[in-house]
């Protein structure tokens, strides 16, 4: 099968999903003339929005189960990144790809790729916000819930493509020689997804794919720590380091100022005010700004672009205000470090809604940040025991477990006063109570919108 010869080929898409990858693969391949089977363990009822969006295409659906014959007889299988290579269905397939590998095999445009345990979505979104002013055709895709296959046919020569890539997406590219980014960024490495890896080093090794395919002319950005130094020693091109605590880094956040020492110049790349609070948001915007300069953007234009960067949905997103109380949706904070960073981003009293399903992560030390919260409201789930063990040891009070987000939300609201922040930053996954973390974030927004609706409809 040549790179574009999909007509009449029998292709199975494993994992239809609700957030872009499977849907985009189905649509792209069907529009190329392939005979597509979409299979997912979830039911047609759950997947109804995706199925509805594909109703103009002739797709065969196998839902609520996988059938071996759909894999063994297919010319090509497109897998969801969360499916491990050890799956017997994949082992039965003649050829396995992902939406990312398929895109990279077909795309000749310049790629800027970003990975990391946390912060990558803010970095890619800020970078896209900056570059699209010089390159209107610049596109953003990958782990940020938009498959690049959805815009492959719209790209013009020279349009840069920014890809956010998870460890799973990168792991699927190992040994393929498909990823050759002009700029590679690795924001940080923290314990994450340890329920899906045999060891932490296996997780790190997948992250390294971000730079392994670069040549000597291409560029990369790493965190200035011992692991980042190892990455830089292995990266084929030129590397720069960022830090918020070590002034030896060329990309350095100091007293809120974003500096980049580049080609003998000391560049100031951050505006005084950004739309989202916190040190980590500023740090991630600075990384994006430095990457834009490395790609050829003028420093003053970069700084100016960031003044109206709105931030990223579901990541310390201001969901609304009600009676002087601000509500922030940080549902993608699925590890304890991200939860603690969110709490530390505010100077006003924070009432934290957290908890969910544990990913076999270590919550040791979380109480150091959580003790600063004005209230802690913990959802039920396997992370409850780990979080509360830390809080009990440090004699930090909490409420819960709550069997629904609404119960935790209402309790937090009862204790809140004007000037407070109600922050949902779970520090755990959403599985069990929600379809995924975006469903959790949308549910939080709906609770806020209901409050605001009641406020608007009430008499003065």
The 10s digit of each residue's pLDDT in 84-97 is 889 999 999 999 99
Q: DSSP assignment, residue 316?
A: S
Strands (E), 273-324: 317-322
Place of tokens 């969901």: 319
CA 364 to each of CA 133, 170, 385, 399: distance values in angstroms, whole numbers, following the listed order: 43, 29, 12, 20
Query: What pLDDT, on a 0 to 100 scale, did the predictor assign at position 459?
Result: 43
Phi, psi of 333 (to 5 degrees): -80, 90
pLDDT band at 434 (very low <50, low <70, confident <90, very high): very high
CA 27 to each of CA 104, 171, 299, 309, 364: distance values in angstroms, whole numbers, following the listed order: 17, 24, 39, 31, 45
Query: Could you give the CA distance from residue 339 to residue 366 in angstroms, rounded to a whole number?
Result: 8
Query: What pLDDT, on a 0 to 100 scale, did the predictor assign at position 58?
Result: 96
Calculate mean pLDDT across residues 380-389.
95
Query: What pLDDT, on a 0 to 100 scale, did the predictor assign at position 34?
Result: 97
Instruction: Tell me if residue 36 falls in helix, strand or coil.
Output: strand
* Whether pLDDT at 432 is above 50: yes
Query: What pLDDT, on a 0 to 100 scale, did the predictor assign at position 199?
Result: 81
CA 21 to each of CA 44, 102, 202: distance values in angstroms, whole numbers, following the listed order: 17, 11, 24
Calculate mean pLDDT across residues 29-50.
94
Query: What pLDDT, on a 0 to 100 scale, did the predictor assign at position 2?
Result: 39
Q: Count CB neighbours of 7 within 10 A.
A: 10
- CA atoms within 13 Å, Cβ hemisphere of 357: 14
Query: What pLDDT, on a 0 to 100 scale, did the predictor assign at position 280?
Result: 86
* Whether pLDDT at 3 is above 60: no
Calculate mean pLDDT across residues 440-453.
93
Cβ–Cβ under 8 Å, residues 396 and 303: no
> ∠241-243-245 over CA atoms, to 5°?
145
Peptide linkage before 45 cis (omega within 30 of 0): no
- Encode pLDDT of 217-251 as tens digits: 999 999 999 999 999 999 999 999 999 888 899 99
Residue-by-residue DSSP string for 113-177: EEE-SSSHHHHHHHHHHHHTTT-TT-EEEETTTB-GGGTGGGPPTT--EEEE--HHHHHTTTTS-
The two three-digit tokens of residue 273, written as one number: 């005010």
Cβ–Cβ under 8 Å, residues 354 and 425: yes
Q: Domains in the chain, start-ordered, CATH in brackets? A: 10-97 (3.40.50.720), 101-308 (3.40.1190.10), 317-455 (3.90.190.20)
Q: Higher pLDDT residue, 84 or 267?
A: 267
**Residue 166 burial class via C-beta count within 10 angstroms: exposed 0-12, middle 13-18, buried 19 and up:** buried
Place of tokens 């990312």: 100
Query: What pLDDT, on a 0 to 100 scale, did the predictor assign at position 232?
Result: 97
Query: Could you give the CA distance from residue 413 to residue 390 in angstroms, rounded to a whole number?
Result: 24
- Encode pLDDT of 147-164 as tens digits: 999 999 999 999 999 999
- Encode pLDDT of 116-138 as tens digits: 988 899 999 999 999 999 999 99
Calculate mean pLDDT across residues 400-425.
97
Query: What pLDDT, on a 0 to 100 scale, did the predictor assign at position 460?
Result: 43
Query: What pLDDT, on a 0 to 100 scale, did the predictor assign at position 1?
Result: 37
**What strands, in cross-sheet order, belong to the sheet with 96-97?**
60-63, 35-40, 10-14, 76-79, 96-97
What percentage of the chain has pLDDT greater than the value 70?
A: 95
Query: What pLDDT, on a 0 to 100 scale, did the predictor assign at position 457?
Result: 45
Query: Could you give the CA distance from residue 179 to residue 212 in angstroms, rounded to a whole number?
Result: 8
Query: What pLDDT, on a 0 to 100 scale, did the predictor assign at position 458?
Result: 46
Cβ–Cβ under 8 Å, residues 140 and 165: no
Query: What pLDDT, on a 0 to 100 scale, did the predictor assign at position 196?
Result: 63
What percentage of the chain has pLDDT greater than the value 90?
A: 80
Cβ–Cβ under 8 Å, residues 391 and 398: yes
Cβ–Cβ under 8 Å, residues 426 and 355: yes
* Pick from 117, 287, 123, 285: nearest CA to 207: 117
- CA atoms within 13 Å, Cβ hemisphere of 356: 28
- Encode pLDDT of 51-81 as tens digits: 999 999 999 999 999 999 999 999 999 998 8
Residue-by-residue DSSP string for 78-96: EEPTTS-TT-HHHHT-S-E
- Encode pLDDT of 197-222 as tens digits: 678 888 899 999 999 999 999 999 99
Query: What pLDDT, on a 0 to 100 scale, did the predictor assign at position 21?
Result: 73
Q: DSSP assignment, residue 225?
A: S
Query: Could you give the CA distance from residue 262 to residue 328 in angstroms, rounded to a whole number?
Result: 36
Q: Count CB neighbours of 435 within 10 A.
A: 15
Query: Could you give the CA distance from residue 427 to residue 358 in angstroms, rounded to a whole number?
Result: 8
The two three-digit tokens of residue 123, written as one number: 């970095």
* Whether pLDDT at 454 is above 80: no
The two three-digit tokens of residue 257, written as one number: 């100022």
The two three-digit tokens of residue 342, written as one number: 């969110």
Calculate mean pLDDT across residues 94-102.
96
Cβ–Cβ under 8 Å, residues 92 and 83: no
């Amino acid at each position: 099968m040549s790179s574009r010869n999909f007509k009449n080929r029998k292709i199975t898409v494993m994992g239809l999903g609700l957030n872009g990858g499977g849907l985009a693969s189905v649509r792209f391949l069907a529009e190329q003339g392939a005979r597509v089977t979409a299979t997912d363990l979830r039911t047609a009822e759950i997947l109804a929005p995706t199925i509805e969006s594909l109703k103009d295409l002739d797709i065969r659906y196998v839902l609520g189960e996988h059938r071996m014959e759909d894999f063994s007889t297919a010319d090509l299988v497109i897998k969801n990144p969360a499916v491990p290579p050890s799956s017997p269905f994949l082992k039965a397939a003649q050829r396995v790809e992902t939406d990312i590998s398929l895109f990279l095999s077909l795309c000749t445009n310049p790629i800027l790729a970003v990975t990391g345990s946390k912060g990558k979505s803010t970095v890619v979104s800020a970078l896209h916000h900056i570059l699209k002013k010089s390159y209107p055709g610049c596109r953003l895709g990958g782990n940020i819930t938009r498959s690049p296959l959805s815009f492959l046919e719209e790209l013009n020569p020279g349009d840069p493509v920014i890809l956010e890539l998870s460890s799973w997406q990168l792991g699927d590219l190992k040994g393929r020689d498909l990823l050759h980014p002009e700029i590679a960024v690795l924001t940080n490495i923290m314990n994450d997804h340890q329920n899906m890896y045999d060891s932490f080093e296996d997780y790190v090794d997948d992250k390294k794919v971000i730079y392994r395919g670069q040549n000597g002319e291409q560029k990369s950005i790493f965190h200035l720590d011992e692991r980042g130094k190892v990455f830089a020693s292995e990266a084929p091109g030129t590397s720069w380091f960022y830090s918020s605590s070590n002034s030896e880094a060329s990309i350095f956040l100091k007293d809120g100022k974003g500096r980049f020492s580049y080609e003998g110049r000391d560049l100031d790349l951050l505006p005084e005010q950004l739309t989202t609070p916190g040190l980590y948001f500023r740090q991630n915007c600075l990384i994006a700004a430095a990457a834009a300069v490395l790609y050829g953007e003028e420093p003053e234009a970069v700084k100016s672009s960031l003044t109206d960067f709105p931030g990223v949905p579901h990541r310390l997103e201001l969901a609304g205000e009600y009676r002087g109380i601000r509500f922030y949706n940080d549902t993608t904070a699925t590890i304890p470090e991200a939860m603690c960073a969110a709490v530390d981003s505010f100077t006003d009293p924070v009432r934290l809604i957290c908890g969910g399903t544990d990913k076999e992560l270590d919550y040791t030390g979380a109480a150091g940040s959580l003790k600063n919260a004005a209230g802690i409201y913990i959802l039920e789930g396997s992370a409850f025991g780990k979080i509360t063990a830390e809080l009990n040891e440090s004699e930090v009070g909490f409420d819960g477990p709550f069997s629904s987000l609404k119960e935790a939300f209402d309790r937090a609201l009862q204790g809140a006063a004007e000037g407070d922040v109600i922050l949902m930053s779970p520090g755990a996954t959403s599985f069990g109570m929600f379809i995924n973390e975006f469903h959790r974030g949308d549910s939080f927004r709906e609770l806020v919108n209901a409050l605001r609706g009641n406020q608007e409809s009430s008499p003065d």
